[in-house]
C-alpha cells in the first residue's frame, strides 16, 4: 500500500465517505459517490442517442439516429456526450458544487464523470482536453472553474493533457439561465478567443463543460477552435438537459 493509499484509508475511517446527494454513509470499498437509492434516481445517457449532439431518445424503440436539430444546423463539434440527465440527484449535486463553491464535491463528481463509459467514444483518438473557460470576473466571484475540475479528472483517468489557457473568455456575458436557444447563441457570440493557435493546430480536442443545455456555449467554443486550426472537437459534459 502506498503512502497516499494509506492516508486515504485512514481518512475513510475518521471521515467515512457520504453520498453526495443525501449524505448517507457509504461503504468505502464500493468506491461510489452516490448511495444505491440515489443512483436509481439518475438517468444515465447510454441508450439511443443522436450520434452528433448526443441528445437522448428516451423511451424510444428506435436506434440511434441524427436528430432534427443536427440535420438542419450541424454543430461545429463532431460529437457530444453526457453522463446523465440534468435533473433530480445530478442537478442538485451540481448546484452544491457550483453555487455552494464546494470543490470537494467537484473532485468527486470529476471521478464519477471520468469513470463513465461514454457511448461510442474512444479517448485514444484525442490528444488534448480543454475546459470551457469562465470570464475572469466570474472566476473571481466563484473562485474556481467547475469545468476545469472535471477536465482534470478526465485527463488524469485517460492520460490526456489538459490545457486551460488556450481558450479564453474575453467577453463578459449575461448568465444563459432563462434564455432560449436563439437568445443563448446571440449572448455567447464572440465571447471566446484562442491564445495560441499553434498548440491546437490539427489536434483532436475534447471540450469539457458541466452542463449541456442547448449547446450554444460549447458550439461557440467549437467554432472558435475549428477556425483556429483544430481538426476535430468532441464535447463531454457531466449532465445535459433532457
pLDDT band at 174 (very low <50, low <70, confident <90, very high): low
User: Among the listed ranges 27-36, 76-85, 140-149, 215-224, which one has the minimum average pLDDT value?
Assistant: 27-36
> Cα(75)–Cα(216) distance, rounded to whole angstroms?
9
Question: What is the model's pLDDT at position 60?
Answer: 78
Question: What is the model's pLDDT at position 29?
Answer: 78
Question: What is the model's pLDDT at position 12?
Answer: 57
Give whole-number Cα distances, 103 to 72, 146, 159, 194, in Å: 39, 8, 22, 27
Q: Average pLDDT of 36-53?
A: 94
pLDDT band at 4 (very low <50, low <70, confident <90, very high): very low
Question: What is the model's pLDDT at position 10?
Answer: 53
pTM, to two decimals: 0.89
pLDDT score of 5 more than 70: no
pLDDT score of 7 more than 60: no
Q: Which CATH number fits the domain 67-240, given the four candidates 3.30.110, 3.10.20, 3.40.50, 3.30.360?
A: 3.40.50
Average pLDDT over the chain, rounded to an integer:
90
> Cα(161)–Cα(159) distance, rounded to whole angstroms?
7
Give whole-number Cα distances, 80 to 72, 94, 141, 177, 220, in Å: 17, 19, 29, 21, 14
pLDDT score of 114 more than 80: yes
pLDDT score of 74 more than 80: yes
Q: Which three cell numbers stand for residue 80?
A: 457530444
Amino acid at each position: 500500500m502506498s503512502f497516499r493509499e494509506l492516508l486515504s484509508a485512514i481518512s475513510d475511517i475518521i471521515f467515512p465517505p457520504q453520498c453526495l446527494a443525501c449524505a448517507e454513509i457509504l461503504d468505502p470499498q464500493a468506491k461510489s459517490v452516490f448511495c444505491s437509492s440515489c443512483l436509481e434516481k439518475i438517468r444515465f445517457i447510454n441508450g439511443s442517442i443522436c450520434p452528433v449532439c448526443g441528445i437522448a431518445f428516451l423511451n424510444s424503440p428506435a436506434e440511434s439516429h441524427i436528430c432534427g436539430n443536427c440535420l438542419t444546423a450541424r454543430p461545429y463539434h463532431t460529437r457530444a456526450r453526457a453522463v446523465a440527465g440534468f435533473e433530480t440527484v445530478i442537478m442538485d449535486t451540481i448546484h452544491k458544487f457550483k453555487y455552494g463553491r464546494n470543490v470537494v464535491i467537484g473532485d468527486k463528481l470529476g471521478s464519477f464523470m471520468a469513470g463513465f463509459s461514454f457511448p461510442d467514444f474512444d479517448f485514444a483518438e484525442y490528444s488534448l482536453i480543454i475546459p470551457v473557460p469562465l470570464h475572469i470576473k466570474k472566476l473571481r466571484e466563484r473562485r474556481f472553474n467547475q469545468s476545469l475540475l472535471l477536465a482534470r479528472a478526465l485527463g488524469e483517468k485517460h492520460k490526456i493533457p489538459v490545457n486551460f489557457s488556450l481558450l479564453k473568455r474575453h467577453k463578459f456575458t449575461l448568465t444563459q439561465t432563462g434564455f432560449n436557444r436563439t437568445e443563448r447563441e446571440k449572448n455567447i457570440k464572440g465571447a471566446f478567443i484562442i491564445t495560441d493557435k499553434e498548440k491546437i493546430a490539427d489536434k483532436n480536442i475534447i471540450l469539457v463543460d458541466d452542463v449541456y443545455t442547448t449547446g450554444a456555449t460549447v458550439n461557440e467554443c467549437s467554432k472558435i477552435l475549428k477556425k483556429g486550426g483544430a481538426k476535430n472537437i468532441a464535447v463531454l459534459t457531466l449532465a445535459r438537459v433532457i
